[in-house]
Structure 1
Amino acid sequence: MYTEKVAIIDIGSNTIRLVIYGIDAQYNYIELQNVKTPARLSHFLEEEDGQKWMRQEGIDRLIQTLQSFNEVCWHYNVDVIRPMATAAIRQSANQEDIFAQVIEATGFNIELVQEEEEALYGQYAVTHTNTIKDAITIDIGGGSCEITLYEDKQGVYLHSFPFGAVSLKDQFFEGKAHNDPDAIAAAREYVSNAFKEYEWIRKAKKPIIAIGGSARNVANVHQLATNYPMAGIHGYEMNEVDLSDTFNLFVNTPYEEMSDIEGLSNDRTDLIIPATIVFQELMKVTKADIFSLSSQGLREGIILKYINEKYDTPIDNKLIRKRSVEGVVRDFPINTFGSDIDIHITLSLFEELVKWGQLEESAEIREELTFATILYRFGGFISTEADSQHTFYILSNMNLLGFSHYKRLRLALLASFRNRTLYKQYLETFEDWLTQEEFDLLERLGGLLKFAQALNDSKTAPIKDIRLLKADQNTYELLIYHNESIVAEKYRANRHKKHLERALDGSLKLNFVYTER
């Protein structure tokens, strides 16, 4: 099933995490195992003569964790193990001793990820799993904070700041309450001044894409606090007010009750305020309107780069949505027989409606129609009677890389379209997500999709061409050219003609024209 299995061990300042990926024949990376421990290695750093040294207690904890992870890798028959260390070991003056002890105890050669590499791995993951062309990325760990700026998916600037959630806590909140106002003010000033030193950060004015556990926790908390109707945090967007509301929830919650906040991990209760301060100050300094979340970060950047370097760049950062849809087809028992014909018919109908001014030409709509045709009511593998409901639920709640939550909702609505009643029902929990114009457009496109399916009902491709003619202002004639028997197609097309009529906003006559082979 997998051509190889690769384990990434992310040795951070706050946590040590093992992720095992299986790489299949299509170069997809599938997460097989994900385990972590809150090692807090940065707590074992002591300063002496202007340098930081990791105490033996911290080294022992690292070795113990790596030995445990090695056993997990053995059970999974892993081919490649890459232990990779970031800020805590990077800042240790005795890192050579740490490496030597680890090799002797585990046989692992730790790769030290330099500041620039750490920033680039995160950026690589974002640009290969997100369709935002220009953005600022932020990845805050326990002891460092990597900021990058990319334009047209190409890196322009990057910097690694020597502070993280753990180090900010130690520097400003040591011996104080988790919500101490003076500590918060001092931390804000420190972080803000650090960001303002860089002109490219001050003048960015681009969306922020956040990576890492702290960002995921902020998003999870906000979603649960606002009864957000969609699952998943990849592509989730917040604004400055959303961040402020979430921050105030942390500040106004007594520390002994922080663990009761839904969506907040127990091992981050003392770190979430310093981390959120960093997110807020970056938004203020860059004047960003959007704070977007990425579930793909350092580890995904490492595995993506590994695949592209080893297998001649099979993962194209311009085809992210296409790979996501292919992933749905791979992961579910979807019958794609005849889908090429279905797509051709769907797009041909779209072109005919554009020709008569009923729809506007749009590359994005063409892409949406293509993907929705491939996935059209695939939820029938669960129940044919509820194929629309299952399709909508799965697509609206699964992690589709490259799709914002708004784009994911549009895809789910189109791929599940069955009738106007269900369409309205699905949108009841997504109040204000669509304008009236968008609501009407998607309903018309859904009707087009349903009618297009009828023209290849037998999956034998009997329809060779279609032409839409206009008889008068409100009357159209659709010429459907075929060279085979079309009993099934004719029945279904006449039955679902009303859906195309709604897309046309007029009456429609179907004319089936037999042509010689």
Structure 2
Amino acid sequence: MNSKIGIMDIGSNSIRLVIYEMTETGAYRIVQECKEAARLSEKVGANGRMEREAIRSIAPLLRQFMAVCHMHGVVRMRAAATAAIRNATNSDEIVQWIAEETNLTLEILSGEQEGYAGFLGVVNTMNVSDGIIIDIGGGSTEITLFRDRKRLHTVSFPFGAVNMNWRFGREVKNGEWSPQQIEEMESFVRSSLQNHDWILSNPDLPFIGLGGTLRTLAKINQKRQDYSLPVTHHYEMTIEDVDYFYGSLPHLPYEKRKKTAGLSKDRADIIVPGLIILKTIFEAAQGSAYLVSGAGLRDGLFHELVNAEQPVVANPLITSIRNILSFAVPVSEAHVKRVNEYAVRLYDTLASGTSAAMDKRLLLTAATLYKTGAALNYYHFRQNSVFWILHAGIGGLSHRETVLAALIADYHPKNRTPRLLRTHADILEPSDEERVHRLGSLLQLAIGMDRSESGMITSINPTTGDDAMHLRLESKSEPILEQRELESVAKDFQKAWNLTLSWSILPSSNF
């Protein structure tokens, strides 16, 4: 029986609730998420205390979040507070007040714990071995260095987008930051880094951003460039992209900045200090590019709760695919496993080279998910599967790989494939068109060899020579559906690979 798990994050800028559904085998998905801006870091007085009235102001929201958990049947709950409450001088008292007002048991995360949870969110959903994670919250900024998917260092700085806006932006007129105000904040951030040599001595690593600042910049950039895949997870921004925002957003009047496409109104003021923190640390560390992670603190808290002994998953892509297939998707796992095995066997016979690992990831994704769209409508499952693959936020795939996997899964060279290649030309590389035709036609051949989804063909033995490939197939009995499908897809396969295809079918030695 599936269970529900609630994760509540009481942050310095916002309070969020995420509810996960988890199967007995460990697959999971998000079934509800609620968010409300609270700006708790603005409720800390000059003496460092947060008064009870501030807690009373958020108590109704916390009680409603708990009611949402009750309605969903949540059986395990983890509520965690970050910088605003952590750094308050009366943090223990705040925990007691929240318990009295809401019956909620609150855990205060240390900066180290917060950074580690963010690290888990990243490495469990992205195919990145080395990098620097930056989590710019409302009241703190966590920096984590990892190599070979192992965390090496974490530091938490007691400044974030909200309290830095309060400290450096109070004198800003009409929302327009002056060069002097920007420089004062940059200088403060740079000075904070001086005692952390590991930040300054690991250049040329991608900066992976958590939290609202980089996600918001990604949304603005996607709108600005009319980007063809409106997904922020694993979205990449160049140094030039962020430099553009650095030269424009701080100098816009507040009312005009609020109208920026992709920028929510409740972040229009704090986007500037968040941007200054981001760019200053990126330049000091000599980062190579900006990557956005849609998974972070709450995801890490979830993994710590349900996989305490081994919270780092072995393979983000396989985990993500398993999660998709585990929830009401009318797909035979035995069938898609056979299709992937056939596809890899064909690929190993035909191709080799430096792109083999990427090609096999694409084949795994497309072979396993090509029929997920049948959950919506069987007769249009291929088109539905494309949408599913493009928008599911599949862990372990870049945006380019995601688009390629969707194109390969729905290979239709006369119509849909050319159209989708044009639609996503801003993401793909020139060589990708040939890759789509080759891998797409190869996948259709692999699907054809199990058209009945019954394992009728028990063995395949592909051989090549003299610009031809021959398939020696063994079958339980006459594979009528499979033969018909092979005849249907052979022409596209031959054209894509520039060879002649033939096959022979023998009785299986196992029957």
What is the TM-score normalised by the length of structure 2? 0.92
C-alpha displacement of 1:238: 0.6
Q: Percent identity?
A: 27
- Give RMSD over aligned pairs: 2.4
* 1:328 pairs with 2:321: no
Matching residue within 69, 73, 77 for 2:73: 77
Partner residue, 2:384: 390
Separation (CA, whole Å) in 1 of partners of 2:67 and 2:450 = 53
Separation (CA, whole Å) in 2 of partners of 1:322 and 1:38 = 35
Separation (CA, whole Å) in 2 of partners of 1:82 and 1:21 = 12
Partner residue, 2:2: 2
Runs of 4 or more consecutive aligned structure 1 residues displaced over 6 Å after TM superposition: none
SS of 1:47's partner is coil
CA change 1:214–1:454 in 2 (3 A) is same
Count of matched residue pairs: 506
Letter in 2 for 1:189: S
Q: Identify which range, 331-340 or 201-210, moves more after superposition.
A: 331-340
Partner residue, 2:192: 194
* 1:351 pairs with 2:348: yes
- Residues 373 and 449, structure 1, Cα contact 8 Å, conserved in 2: yes
CA-to-partner distance for each residue in 1:181-216, whole Å, 9 max, x for gaps? 221121122213323442211122211111112222
Separation (CA, whole Å) in 2 of partners of 1:304 and 1:127 = 11
Partner residue, 1:268: 267
C-alpha displacement of 1:176: 1.5
Separation (CA, whole Å) in 1 of partners of 2:415 and 2:302 = 44
Separation (CA, whole Å) in 2 of partners of 1:144 and 1:349 = 51
- Residues 454 and 492, structure 1, Cα contact 8 Å, conserved in 2: yes
- Residues 39 and 61, structure 1, Cα contact 8 Å, conserved in 2: no
Letter in 2 for 1:250: L
SS of 1:21's partner is strand
Q: Identify which range, 283-292 or 499-508, moves more after superposition.
A: 499-508
Partner residue, 2:29: 30
Q: Identify which range, 260-269 or 136-145, moves more after superposition.
A: 260-269
C-alpha displacement of 1:127: 1.5
CA change 1:334–1:242 in 2 (3 A) is farther
Separation (CA, whole Å) in 1 of partners of 2:96 and 2:374 = 56
Separation (CA, whole Å) in 1 of partners of 2:220 and 2:391 = 17
Task: Give the alignment of 1:233-244 within 5 angstroms.
Answer: 233-244=232-243
Partner residue, 1:115: 111
Q: Identify which range, 422-431 or 24-33, moves more after superposition.
A: 24-33
CA change 1:46–1:364 in 2 (3 A) is same
Letter in 1 for 2:188: Y
Separation (CA, whole Å) in 2 of partners of 1:498 and 1:406 = 27
Partner residue, 1:363: 357
Matching residue within 498, 501, 504 for 2:497: 504
Matching residue within 457, 472, 477 for 1:484: 477
SS of 1:441's partner is helix
C-alpha displacement of 1:513: 4.0
Separation (CA, whole Å) in 2 of partners of 1:512 and 1:28 = 39
CA-to-partner distance for each residue in 1:114-138, whole Å, 9 max, x for gaps? 1111111111211112220111111
- Residues 466 and 481, structure 1, Cα contact 8 Å, conserved in 2: yes
- Residues 240 and 280, structure 1, Cα contact 8 Å, conserved in 2: no
Q: Identify which range, 142-151 or 80-89, moves more after superposition.
A: 80-89
Separation (CA, whole Å) in 2 of partners of 1:60 and 1:316 = 37
SS of 1:25's partner is coil
- Residues 227 and 426, structure 2, Cα contact 8 Å, conserved in 1: no
Task: Give the alignment of 1:61-460 within 5 angstroms.
Answer: 61-177=57-173, 178-181=175-178, 182-205=180-203, 206-309=205-308, 313=310, 317-331=313-327, 333-336=329-332, 337-354=334-351, 362-383=356-377, 386-460=380-454
Letter in 2 for 1:502: K
Letter in 1 for 2:405: L
CA-to-partner distance for each residue in 1:70-90, whole Å, 9 max, x for gaps? 333333333233332211111
Separation (CA, whole Å) in 2 of partners of 1:10 and 1:251 = 29
C-alpha displacement of 1:498: 1.4
CA-to-partner distance for each residue in 1:264-300, whole Å, 9 max, x for gaps? 1221111000001111112211221221111111111
Task: Give the alignment of 1:39-50 within 5 angstroms.
Answer: 39-48=38-47
Separation (CA, whole Å) in 1 of partners of 2:88 and 2:376 = 54
Separation (CA, whole Å) in 2 of partners of 1:77 and 1:460 = 38
What is the TM-score normalised by the length of structure 1? 0.91
Letter in 1 for 2:162: V
SS of 1:436's partner is coil
C-alpha displacement of 1:510: 3.2
Letter in 1 for 2:387: Y
SS of 2:340's partner is helix
C-alpha displacement of 1:468: 4.0
C-alpha displacement of 1:475: 4.0
